[in-house]
């Protein structure tokens, strides 16, 4: 696990291609592991989690990540909303995901420096986290389900960012 103080250096190394995954209170170790695996596959710059009210880097998380935990820096921060403001000050666009909005993730430009913020399994984005986002978008679902598992939704949005960045249609 990377230290909070290492975050500025990680971001500087990524430059304009920065792709950060922020998990706002994910508590299930299997979900965190799957998110780390997807983040590593998408070549994310870092994964940021709060120190409290979230699962840490446990042996279960490592196993569920299938090596992803060793390939993408995981940074636990003391204050998630403050960290998001630091990212914004560095020119990063903050996009939160929630099901209760009209804006589709497919209509947002994810080609520049971006942080994708996913809410917790049961509660979604916390109020302060959501208020700090530049955009709040949803994954459109024409079927009967209202939401996806956080790890599945994470994979969808990371690879939408990757698709946009690669110029694929």
Mean pLDDT of 21-37: 96
pLDDT of 9 > 90? The answer is: no
Residues of 85-113 as b/e, b for ≥16 C-beta within 10 angstroms? eebeeeebbbbbbbeeeeeebeebebeeb
Please report, rounded to a whole number, the percentage of residues in the chain having pLDDT higher than 90.
Answer: 78
pLDDT tens digits, 97-145? 998 999 999 999 999 999 999 999 888 999 999 999 999 999 999 888 8
What's residue 169's pLDDT? 64
Domains of the chain, earliest start first = 4-166 (3.40.1280.10)
Angle at 48 between CA 43 and CA 49, to 5 degrees: 140
pLDDT tens digits, 48-78? 999 998 998 999 999 999 999 999 999 999 9
The pTM (predicted TM-score) of the whole model is 0.94
């Amino acid at each position: 696990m990377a230290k909070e103080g290492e975050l500025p250096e990680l971001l500087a190394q990524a430059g304009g291609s920065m792709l950060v995954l922020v998990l706002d209170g994910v508590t299930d170790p299997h979900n965190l592991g799957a998110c780390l695996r997807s983040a590593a596959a998408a070549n994310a710059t870092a994964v940021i989690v709060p120190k409290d009210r979230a699962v840490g880097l446990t042996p279960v998380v490592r196993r569920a990540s299938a090596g992803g935990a060793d390939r993408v820096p995981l940074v636990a921060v003391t204050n998630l909303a403050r960290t998001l403001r630091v990212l914004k000050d560095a020119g990063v666009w903050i996009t939160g995901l929630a099901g209760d909005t009209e804006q589709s993730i497919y209509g947002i430009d994810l080609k520049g420096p971006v942080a994708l913020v996913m809410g917790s399994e049961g509660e979604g984005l916390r109020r302060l986290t959501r208020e700090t986002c530049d955009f709040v978008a949803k994954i459109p679902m024409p079927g009967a389900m209202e939401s996806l598992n956080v790890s599945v939704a994470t994979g969808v949005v990371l690879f939408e960012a990757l698709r946009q960045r690669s110029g694929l249609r």
